[in-house]
Structure 1
Amino acid sequence: MTERVLIIGAGHAGATLAGLLRQAGHPGPIELFGDELDLPYHRPPLSKKFAEGELEQWLRPMEFYQDQDITVRLGDRVVAIDRAERRVHVASGESYDYDHLVLATGARPRPLPVPGADLDGTVSLRTLADARILRKCVAERRRLAIVGGGYIGLEVAAVARANGVEVTVVEREERVLARVASPRLSEILTAHHRARGTRILTGARVVRLSGADGRVRAVVLDDGTEITSDAVLVGIGALPRDELAAAAGLRCDQGIVVDAQARTNDPHILAIGDVTRRPLGTGTLVRLESIPSAAEQARQAVATIMGDVPTAAEVPWFWSDQFDLKLKIAGLVPPLPRTVVRGDPSAGRFALFHHDNGTLIAVESANRAAEFMAGKQFIASGTRIDPARLADDTTPLRDAILH
């Protein structure tokens, strides 16, 4: 088996796939293409630990790729896919043939569509370069406005506040984390942030950014409120980088559509990571932006390329660090969940179990590792629970299971 595998995208998904392919015994050429000039690196620290320590946390050192005979082409942007010839073209004018092509192109920050969004001091957070700008802002104790109350925005807010920066979070929806968290968790996190000095404005719409001398100076809301700021972080979501796939005629619908084995509608092309929409549960297509999902799809792609038995689907899970809260979430929270609270949210140790007539479908936890792990297992097995027993923190988790 000497097929050539080209991987487009040197993020967590692409780099993980390259290593796993060699581990699985793939003997043919493996080439990893990345737009950035840096080796593949850990992205979670960009929002969780950007104020201190080493930002350049490589997934693997260059010696690993050399030892494993994996060719890494940094700064080599692929501009077109020729499906008929099974060849990709890069910006330099070179072209490379493939037997298997894997698209791991990730996502890009959603732009803020208002006047002034191009002013200096306005940043998003996706790359090492972005994190370095934020680090400078924190080091200089600048006033920071964050447009968007998602996980990235709240993580950055927590780090900035812990370093003495004045922070205002502006969220268009009526609560933070409106698309991804339960109303109860939103309420708990809002209170936790406000108690530590984060100013949070909800139901607030940004209409423009104002500046002086080409640099941002304030965020202006639709009611005329001006939030003075020295820097603005835009964190209003991410868009899949599926342009390359769409131009090649692959099926795309808010991301590259793949099956449970990471396969696109072309038998020679797979896709993994944040750029994909994949089936979960009943087959509903979902785009997950998480390291666990990227790693799972990398394993699926390995099985497909190697002709192995497909890997079993995992329960999707995520994590977030905010101040002293180590948050772990398993499953997908429904719009109107039935929620059981276990533990003490005011003490920062709790688990929110969401169920459908006793069948657990999601858990959101903070500093309760046992509840997170049990909840993840309950979701995978379709376990039914007794809500009253589960709410009693003195009752062992196993005693809350309905047999």
Structure 2
Amino acid sequence: MYDVSKNRSALTGPGSCPSRLSDRARLALHMLLSDLGLPLLGQQQQPHTSWRGSVRQLGLIMLLMALMWFVRLYLHYCSQWLYLQAIAVPVNKFQFHAHTVELVYQSSLLHIWEELAMLVVGPLTLNALTFLLVLIRWGCQQIFGSLPSFTSKFIMAQGVWTVLDPLAVFAVDAVLGRLTYSPDTPVGDAAKLYWHFYRVDQSGAAGVIITLFLYAVLFLLSITILSIYLLRFHNDGHMLDIFQRLTAKEGTYFLPQDLELSNQELSYIVKKAEQWRGFNGERRKVAVYDYIWTAEDPLPDSAASNNDSLREGAPLPEGETSTHVVIYTLYLSGLKQRYRHFLRQSDGAIIE
């Protein structure tokens, strides 16, 4: 569990701007390590068990990221293939590989708007899938209250790859030499508009500008969906809960006292105690004691004035009342032993 008190000064403590900025960066790093299940920096833990669990968590995350690479890759290019089928453009080659997908089509048959749609259909499909997963996560949280941590890591991996999808596709295309035009080999997504404008206007500068603009819009959309998920739904909103608790004013949140319980729970305990019977005839009884503290008037003639007010039917002086509820175990020998006891304070808090 992440220790909030150690980092409260990161947002509320005094200090200069650079120190507060470094504290916030340290807080963000600790929150990231905590959400990933890794040991916190400087935290005292048992060497074998903690690192074994951390390695297991890190291995699970890396395996999940590796699996989501294929989901992202094939979903990206399958959506492009479906779009080409929808607009009746012939596909010359559609072959899957572990690192990429070869999709060769006759780009000369596409208009500018169709080429624009071809560029954004892959990332938009991934964003739609991520948004759908976030909605499912929200619905399950409303119905079931909580879900296994694996689902949070799965959606997080999908969101991260959605943000990195244009960059990952560009990196693979650059390594494979797909930024140049060839009718027999695929053309990278980042170079589609460049070569389209180059064929029409003998200059691809407009295509580069439009590509950068579209990628910027897609990045903002992807990072927005991922940020909303990480803040409000990842690990049941752990990050947002910590941030709100650190920045909220004193008294905003209700903090129960140690060993505090509700009135319903106390009623249930008392009812079960009255019904309890032991093997040797023991039984339990509940005793209730009221302790009343009254604020008295320090003036000498306060006693006479108080008696007059009581005779006239005036309300009792202001004070506080505490109730002591004791559960005794009664033995046949006459022994009375205290089993449990509770104190209801004047503010309504019930403490065992």
Q: TM-score range by the shorter chain?
A: under 0.3
* Structure having the higher Rg: 2
Q: When you count helix as a share of all residues, which structure comes out higher? A: 2
Could you state the TM-score of these two structures normalised by the residue count of structure 1?
0.19
Q: When you count strand as a share of all residues, which structure comes out higher? A: 1
Higher relative contact order (CA 8 A, sep 6+): 1
